[in-house]
Homo-oligomer: A and B are copies of this chain.
């Protein structure tokens, strides 16, 4: 079976909440950068295709003069298409964990390199943790502990679990490595 673009679902998912421009979709994607990424080079062509296929409609909401701005709205067909996808089980997706591969092959390099890789990873994780905390403040704080409809909370929570686990692992490895010079 042929793969199908997942970009379309990322886009429709946002459009399902409210109409948006390609630029706005990209901005919203920034909030879930920990789970999903899309480039403009993928967003604009896909929006065009979705319109052609009747999954979204496009309206010109030109700002003042000249500069065009297109707002996309999801159609019923688009909604159904999204809902169907949401119900589907996640297909096998090839894993490519680059740092993991480097660590696995680290025996072909030096211990110092390994420690430096782990140190760098820790930094990245701490940045991710900060980012996740800022999202937590933005979307969860001062709300109910868990409202079942609050799916952003679930995403943020997952991020916390995973980042903390990676940090713990990272620190354990560093401790062992540095303790044995």
Name the prevailing secondary structure of the A interface residues.
Answer: helix
Query: Which chain B residues lie closer than 8 Å to A103 at the CB level?
Result: 151, 154-155, 158
Residues from chain B with Cβ under 8 Å of A39 in the complex: 94
How many copies, total?
2
A10: chain B residues at CB < 8 Å are 101
Given A83-B109, A176-B148, A35 contacting B165 (CB threshold 8 A): no
Decide if A34 is an interface residue (CB 8 Å cutoff): yes
B157 engages A120 (CB within 8 Å) = no
A86 shortest CB reach to chain B, Å: 4
Bound-state CA distance A96–B39 (Å) is 12
**From residue A22, how far is it (CB to closest CB) to chain B in Å?**
17
- In the complex the two chains form, is B151's CB within 8 Å of A106's CB? yes
Taking a contact as CB atoms under 8 Å apart, the answer to whether A161 and B151 are in contact is: no
